[in-house]
Structure 1
Amino acid sequence: MESVTCINVPRVLDRPVDTDVLIVNWRDTTHPEGGGSERYVHQVAQGLAAAGLRVTLFCAAHDRAPADEVVDGVRIVRRGSRLSVYPRALAFVRRTRPRLVVDVQNGIPFCSTLVRRGPVTAVVYHVHREQWPIVFGRVMGRVGWWLESIIAPRVYRRSRYVTISEATRGEMVGLGIGAERITVVPVGIEPIPSVTTRRSAIPELVALGRLVPHKRVEHALEVLARLSDRWPDLRLTIIGDGWWEDQLRAEAERLGVAERVTFAGYVDEQGKHELLASAWVHLCPSIKEGWGLVVNEAGGHGVPTVGYRSAGGLRESVLDGVSGVLVDDLDEMTAAAARLLEDDETRAAMGAAAARHAASLEWPVTVRNFAAVLARSVRDAIPAGGDPDLAHLSSTLDRVAIGGAGTADGAVPPALDDPGTAAVAGRAGTA
């Protein structure tokens, strides 16, 4: 985000406030493990607040931000830990009685529908089938998958859903969620900032993201090791931090490439873009991505991506064969990276296409189309006798959806009469 306005506010002890839209999410953008999904939530929340709606985000507490503050017009309430945030959020929903709840399901559902009879819209970035056993082990992984695949679809059986890619929508339909209740609202991207860094004179790979097992940064290290004989001066920059860093450093030592790997750690937005601008090829070996915002951030600097087709959302953030290459395994990832490193013309062409694709993704479009889904959720909940508060909320959300306050322009988004139709306004020429 280019600018963020923060106002510290006294702790309110969770007393009821008049809230139009309450978003429950396990993290926010300031959380040490925050990433692209948290940026998506904040951009939507900020856009709704700019339209005059009273928006609150409830998320887990951490030591990098106060318990209560207002950021870009959004009231943020931080309570609980990684797991206790879920019951704390339910208690908050029950006490504050917001007009509309946006329930963000990052694997574990908040189950807001159990305590709220009003409209609830569920958000799913991607399905976590492969990630559960990696992060929580075999037994707890089965419990997690049961919650996500069996319990959540039943809890939200009357709710509308938002997801960010057709790949995820297809997986959700496979869980028994009606396709007509799922709308695809793709991500946006902030304007790429100007940088002073020039492209590296020597070949350089980059990997960007949280350092956790399911991001599989080990594969980027393996690609570096396999190509070392061919390019003795090849380097890899890893941007991001996380609890898996020690294991990655140990793997770099085992592979004999530690001296050619830079662990940049957490960097600010400008620092991140300076590092991306230096790279030749971006590697995205993640096991699953709802979209893969890092792909477009790298693409904004003319850096093509090599990623796994099986990750799901990368099939849309990467235009295969145009702005990057999708592969099926580590051998193919190594071969694709090698081709891009050695073929300057192809790398430049794909980089230019990646920059065009990134430029086509705009947050105001995301906000408009998200608001359209919320407006339908509210209208679904208006009783036969009417409800003035919900009717006013629906009207305001409709105004945002057609390019009113809170958006960058007045363009009308595509018709969303079919909730399953992907919202692709602003993406002309990217397919």
Structure 2
Amino acid sequence: MKTPNPALRHVLFLNWRDTLNPEGGGSEVFVERIAAELVARGHQATLLCAAHGNGPAEEVNAAGVRILRRGGRHTVYARAALTYLAGWFGLGRLRRGAAGRARPDLIVDVCNGLPFLSPLWSRRPVVTLVHHVHREQWPVVLPPRAARFGWWIESSLAIRVYRRCRYVTVSAATRDELAVLGVDPRRVTVVHNGTPEVSVARTAKTAEPTLVVLGRLVPHKQVEVALRALAALSQQWPALSVVVAGQGWWEPKLRAYAAELGVGDRVRFAGFVSDEEKQALLSSAWLALTPSLKEGWGLTIVEAGAQGTPTVAFRGAGGVAEAVMDGRTGLLADNEEEFVAHVRTLLADDERRAAMGAAARIYADGFTWSAAGDKFAAAIGAGTAPQTAAAGATRSRTPDLPLP
């Protein structure tokens, strides 16, 4: 029988959602792609997340990542602890893993606002993965009292519980925000998202100007800003349209708002789209809009860039300011009035828009999942040796780009 390599590890990811979840988004893509990169390097990876109707209770995906779906949107946190403890004592599925180590050697605790608090109930080293700080989102998605409680958990309780843990985040902006909350930047490794592979031939731009918004349909994504931009620019471009690709519980509100603005006939809600459909949409659009209140990185921005489409977004939206090279691969706005003005500027300037799209493609090519996997693997090593300096804390190499 082959002796297990002690350098190889079984890594348990705790995340409230997975990519098949109807509410899954860019953070779930990051977790699963990183887990796949670890598997490709010989590690064993298990993802424990909430159950839903789009996936079985247990499966091994095409990349070799084992996925356990337990509990619901809120109960997944307790179920994670119970499943882990049952596995620890030989009663559950974590102990009966695939070939390799049955027990997790390390936990990656993904904190999407609410943490799993795994240092309180596990006996393994914990690496904390934070995509972004939710200070602005809590008041948008919850009533005032609940929002204050959620923010206290994220900004105070979690900081104390994870005080001995190493952190991973996806942008320097989030690392800076964590520092404000009291997390020493020397404990934080920045691992940028990779750019999804282009799997279909690029599509020609639409004959008439088209804007695309890609993401979950929830309040803090602020799709309303894109709808108001459409209404404001309709007189100048009567054939201007917006495609909203994504799904979420906020969609009925957005449909009603588009009708209220008088642009309902020029907004197409595409719902969930496959990777091929998404790439075709991003490729054919004149501009991508990311009006989100906050993003850890801005994966859809780089996805649009890979298709040669520049993005307009808000400067203060966290990692968005790193996903967009302002003035080169897109434009960043400080307020909604400027956001609309940027859209107008790029729609009116074919040459500048094309130059930005070309630069965005070069920039997107500089981010790979292989490089992200290397940095994350280094962070795992740091997670078990607190005295080791944070690996990969610097920004990925920025390609040399022509100025549009």
Report if TM-score (shorter chain) is over 0.5.
yes
User: Would the aligned equivalents of 2:191 and 2:393 in 1 still touch at CA under 8 Å?
Assistant: no
Partners of 2:348 and 2:153 in 1: how far apart?
46
Other-structure match for 1:42: 32
Alpha carbons of structure 1 residues 19 and 31: separation in structure 2 relative to 1, 3 Å: farther
Residues 42-90 of structure 1, C-alpha deviations (whole Å, 9 max, x = no match): 1111111122222111000000010000012111100000000001111
Give the percent of matched residue pairs that are identical in Structure 1 and Structure 2. Answer: 50
1:212 to 203, 210, 218: 218
Partners of 1:419 and 1:147 in 2: how far apart?
28
Tell me how far 1:195 sits from its aligned partner.
3.0
Other-structure match for 1:222: 228
Deviates more, 1:328-337 or 1:416-425: 416-425
Partners of 2:392 and 2:45 in 1: how far apart?
26
- Supply the RMSD in Å over aligned alpha carbons: 1.7
Partners of 2:401 and 2:109 in 1: how far apart?
30
Secondary structure in structure 1 of the residue aligned to 2:385: helix
Counterpart residue type for residue 208 of structure 1: L
* Structure 2 counterparts to residues 388-399 of structure 1, below 5 A: none
Partners of 1:423 and 1:332 in 2: how far apart?
28
Partners of 1:288 and 1:196 in 2: how far apart?
29
Other-structure match for 2:94: none
Partners of 1:358 and 1:229 in 2: how far apart?
34
Whether 1:86 and 2:77 are equivalent positions in the alignment is yes
User: Would the aligned equivalents of 2:11 and 2:105 in 1 still touch at CA under 8 Å?
Assistant: yes
Other-structure match for 1:174: 180
Secondary structure in structure 1 of the residue aligned to 2:303: helix
Tell me how far 1:180 sits from its aligned partner.
0.9
Counterpart residue type for residue 309 of structure 1: R
Tell me how far 1:302 sits from its aligned partner.
1.1
1:21 to 8, 11, 20: 11
Partners of 1:50 and 1:428 in 2: how far apart?
27
Counterpart residue type for residue 46 of structure 2: T
Tell me how far 1:244 sits from its aligned partner.
0.4
Whether 1:101 and 2:107 are equivalent positions in the alignment is yes
TM-score by length of 1: 0.85
User: Would the aligned equivalents of 1:191 and 1:359 in 2 still touch at CA under 8 Å?
Assistant: no
Partners of 2:44 and 2:227 in 1: how far apart?
46
Whether 1:163 and 2:169 are equivalent positions in the alignment is yes
Secondary structure in structure 1 of the residue aligned to 2:60: strand
Alpha carbons of structure 1 residues 173 and 421: separation in structure 2 relative to 1, 3 Å: same
Secondary structure in structure 1 of the residue aligned to 2:175: helix
Deviates more, 1:295-304 or 1:210-219: 295-304
Partners of 1:304 and 1:195 in 2: how far apart?
18
Tell me how far 1:118 sits from its aligned partner.
2.3
* Structure 2 counterparts to residues 251-330 of structure 1, below 5 A: 251-330=257-336
Secondary structure in structure 2 of the residue aligned to 1:310: coil
Whether 1:342 and 2:348 are equivalent positions in the alignment is yes
Counterpart residue type for residue 41 of structure 2: A
User: Would the aligned equivalents of 1:308 and 1:326 in 2 still touch at CA under 8 Å?
Assistant: yes
Alpha carbons of structure 1 residues 92 and 423: separation in structure 2 relative to 1, 3 Å: farther
Whether 1:77 and 2:49 are equivalent positions in the alignment is no
Alpha carbons of structure 1 residues 423 and 324: separation in structure 2 relative to 1, 3 Å: closer
Partners of 2:395 and 2:42 in 1: how far apart?
24
Tell me how far 1:190 sits from its aligned partner.
1.8
Partners of 1:292 and 1:29 in 2: how far apart?
16
1:424 to 396, 399, 403: 396
Other-structure match for 2:22: 32
TM-score by length of 2: 0.91
User: Would the aligned equivalents of 1:184 and 1:422 in 2 still touch at CA under 8 Å?
Assistant: yes
Other-structure match for 2:92: none
Partners of 1:422 and 1:41 in 2: how far apart?
20
Counterpart residue type for residue 28 of structure 2: E
Secondary structure in structure 1 of the residue aligned to 2:269: strand
Other-structure match for 1:52: 42
Residues 158-210 of structure 1, C-alpha deviations (whole Å, 9 max, x = no match): 00000010111100000011111111111101222223632101111111101
Secondary structure in structure 1 of the residue aligned to 2:139: helix
Tell me how far 1:292 sits from its aligned partner.
0.6
Partners of 1:335 and 1:217 in 2: how far apart?
17
Tell me how far 1:423 sits from its aligned partner.
4.8
Counterpart residue type for residue 12 of structure 2: L
Partners of 1:123 and 1:205 in 2: how far apart?
32
Tell me how far 1:378 sits from its aligned partner.
1.9
Partners of 1:52 and 1:291 in 2: how far apart?
27
Secondary structure in structure 2 of the residue aligned to 1:122: strand
Aligned length: 379
Residues 240-266 of structure 1, C-alpha deviations (whole Å, 9 max, x = no match): 111100000001001000011111111
The answer for unaligned runs of 5 or more in structure 2 is: 1-7, 89-103
Partners of 1:429 and 1:356 in 2: how far apart?
8
Partners of 1:380 and 1:53 in 2: how far apart?
21
Deviates more, 1:186-195 or 1:110-119: 186-195
Secondary structure in structure 1 of the residue aligned to 2:316: helix
Counterpart residue type for residue 59 of structure 2: E
Alpha carbons of structure 1 residues 371 and 264: separation in structure 2 relative to 1, 3 Å: same
User: Would the aligned equivalents of 2:188 and 2:390 in 1 still touch at CA under 8 Å?
Assistant: no
Tell me how far 1:419 sits from its aligned partner.
4.6
